[in-house]
Structure 1
Amino acid sequence: MKILLLEDEFDFAQSVSEYLTALGYEVDIASDGIVACDLIANNFYHLFMLDIKVPNVNGFEVIKYIKSLNIQTPIMITTSLTDIDDMAIGYELGCNEYLKKPFELAELKFRVTELMRKYYNVDDKNTIVLHQGFSYNVIKKTLFKGASVVDLSAKETELVGYLSEHANRYVSITELRDVVWDGKEIEEADIRMHVLKIRNKTTKDFISSKRRVGYKIDAKNI
C-alpha cells in the first residue's frame, strides 16, 4: 500500500520513510507542497502524511487541493504545531488523524495501522479481510481462502490486489486499464475473461460487476 509523505526535514523524512518501508509500505516523499500536489494529481495513495510548515504551499493548502479533487484517501497531519486553532483548522479541512512531533515510530505504526484497518480493512498482518472467507495479503501479494493459497496468474493477482485494496467500491474499466494494464488498450472482453477465470478459482460472486460501472470485491468488517 502506498503512502505520500510531505516533509521538508530531509533526515526526518528518510527515517520515517525507511521505517514505513520496513513495515511493507511503499513511500513517496515530497519536500514541499507543490511537489506533493503534482504527485497527488498523478498517483493513487492509500494515505497522506502531511507536515504543515513546508515550503511554497503549506500542508493546509495541500489538504484543500486533495479535497478539490474529491479524493477520499485518509489524511494524517504530522506537525510540531500544537495550537488548538491549528488542530481545529486541520480537522475542519478534513484530516483524519493528528500526530504531534516529536513522536515515537512505534506510535506512528499504531496510527497508520489503525487508519489502514479503518479505511481499507487491513489488519496488523497487512491482510485485507474479504468476504466469503477470503483474504489478500498486500505484502505477499497472495489471495487466501482460509489458510489455503488461491493459485492465480500474475495478472489475476494484480487484478485481485487492486480490487482488494479498493474494496467495497466499483472500479471502472478505465481505471483497471490505466493501473492494472498500465494504460494499454486492452479490450473490455479481455478484462471480463480475467474476472471469469478468477471467479472459477474462487466463487461466482467473489468479484461482483455492474454494467457500465465496473467491478468490485467486498471486504468484511474486521
Structure 2
Amino acid sequence: MSVAIPIFKPVSQMQLTPGSTVTIPDVTWEEFESILQELGEKRASRIAYNQGNLEIMVPLPEHEISKDLISDIVKILLKAKGIKYQPFGSTTFKKQGTAGVEADACFYIQNYQQMIGKRRLQPDDPPPDLAIETDVTSKTTLGAYEAIGVPELWIFDSGKLAIYLLKDGKYIKSEQSPYFEDIAITQIIPDTVERSWQVGSFQALEEFANLYLSIIE
C-alpha cells in the first residue's frame, strides 16, 4: 500500500508563467508575512490576501503597458486640475491580520502631504485615496481593498474601465470619479489605451493631452 507524502516547497520556487494566477487557501497572517519576505520586493508577481486566501499573479506585458499609461493619464489630469498628489506605485498595503494587496498604481491625494518623504509605511498610515488595477476580477483582490479601506478603486479589464467607490465598507460601481467629475473617465481611458496599441504610448498621451486638457482648463 502506497502512502502519499506531501512535499512542501518555498513559494519563491514556484514557476509561474506570465498571465497566470495561483490561489492558496487557508494561509495564516504569519504565513502571509513570511511569504512576502520570501518573495522579496524585486519580483514580477503581485499578491492579494484576504481572510486566509492568498493569490499570486504574474502580469502579462500588455498589463504593464496599460497600467503605466493609465497612471500617466491620472498624473496629467491631476496636474491640469491643480490637485496635488503623491504617487506610491505598487506598494504593499496591509490591514494587520486581515488583508494585504499590491496595486498596479496608487495615489495619495487627500493625504498626500502626510505621505511626503515616507520610505516605509507605518501601521497607522492611511490607505491611498485612489488605486488602479488592470485585468483583475478576483473577489480576493476586491475584498482586500475593501478591508484596507481604499476610497476609490479603478479596474481596467478587457478594454473597459470600472470605477468603484467605497461606501459603508463595500464598493459600489460609479460612472464618475469624484476627482474628475467633469471628465468621462470610463470612456477616455479605454480610448487612449486602445490608441496606444496603434501609435504607441507617447503619441497616445500627446493626443490625449491635446484633446482634453483644453477642455479642463
From the two aligned structures, give the one with the greater strand fraction: 2
Name the one with the larger helix percent.
1
TM-score, structure 2 as length reference: 0.28
TM-score, structure 1 as length reference: 0.28
